Amino acid sequence: MSVNPETFKAVMGQWPSGVTVITTEDAEGFGGMTASSFSSVSLNPPLISICVARYLRMHDRIREAGRFAVNILSKDSQEHGMRFAGMLPGVEDRFAGVTTRTASTGCPVLTDTLGWIDCRLWASYDGGDHSIFVGEVLAAGIDDTAVPLLYHSRSWGQFADVLAEQATVLDAADDGDALVIPDAFGQPQAPAPVDTLVARVREALDSTPAPSLLLLDDRPSAADPVQLRQALQAIAGVVGRTPVGLRPGAGPMALANVLVALKSGVHHLSAASDTDHYVAMPDLVDMLQRMQVGILPAAALA
């Protein structure tokens, strides 16, 4: 006796996944579909798999073209997820207005994704009303943005931000070894674009590889919470294992910025004696205590 199909669908809907767009290229041009059945298969040789419904045109196109690319969507690309699943009414050409490039096989690689994988079709297996396509990875790359689009129970989503459980609060004497990015967020009247900060961080890390801390200094209190969040997400892909700290400026958004930082992977906060321009140490400590974030001694940085 087999499981009831509705039960099966409902149970599978409980399984959360990322979202990809699978693309291929043939005499008809580009083809694309949304898929979440993507999985890593083998390291040596590098193989991945996708499962594609037999009734889809993409099924035969991939099999005949013998190649496909997997584009891992970021949380900002829900529109792409819907577009390539045929969920946007009126969209006939799924690639209209979508920027792509090619890598190894000629399949379109979407820009602004988390990562992409370009494959030669290695094998195809019977998977009931789907086929299991195994791809040999010929080329792959990642972009800087590090937050994936998720799919669960027919809803699109993203990871909830988890508040740091512990943080260090440094004063100027503790962060002498830190690599400081001054005016990290520009000026209040002229906020710095995220790309500018990413470029500055890259440059700083090129000249001082693996510092004990990369400290974003917001003396002019230019950061607003949304900008700060985007900036922290964007530099996450650049800093590698280097811890990131924030020296929050003393503007009206200061404590909101501290909260955003603590929810965006920042575990080091820095105060300065110049409390006209920076959040004061007692205010940082008080805030952390009220939020029940454990305060680590500054030595924990070493």
Ligand X SMILES: Cc1cc2nc3c(=O)[nH]c(=O)nc-3n(C[C@H](O)[C@H](O)[C@H](O)COP(=O)(O)O)c2cc1C
Catalog residues that contact ligand X under the rule CB under 6 A.
Answer: 19, 33-37, 51-53, 56-57, 81, 84-86, 130, 151
**Residue 269 DSSP SS3:** strand
**Residue 137 DSSP SS3:** strand
Does residue 278 contact residue 272 with C-beta atoms inside 8 Å?
yes
Question: With respect to ligand X, which residue has the nearer C-beta, 57 or 202?
Answer: 57
Instruction: Please return the burial class of 7, using the count of CB atoms within 10 Å of its CB with bins 0-12, 13-18 and 19+.
Output: exposed
Question: With respect to ligand X, which residue has the nearer C-beta, 53 or 256?
Answer: 53
Question: With respect to ligand X, which residue has the nearer C-beta, 52 or 271?
Answer: 52
Shortest separation between residue 165's beta carbon and ligand X, angstroms:
32
Shortest separation between residue 56's beta carbon and ligand X, angstroms:
5
**Helical H segments across the chain, by residue range:** 5-13, 57-65, 78-83, 194-207, 225-239, 254-262, 281-290
Shortest separation between residue 64's beta carbon and ligand X, angstroms:
16
Question: With respect to ligand X, which residue has the nearer C-beta, 131 or 233?
Answer: 131
Reported as type and span, the H/E element at residue 18 is strand 17-18
Question: With respect to ligand X, which residue has the nearer C-beta, 33 or 250?
Answer: 33
Between CA 99 and CA 284 the distance in angstroms is 44
Shortest separation between residue 130's beta carbon and ligand X, angstroms:
6
Shortest separation between residue 91's beta carbon and ligand X, angstroms:
10
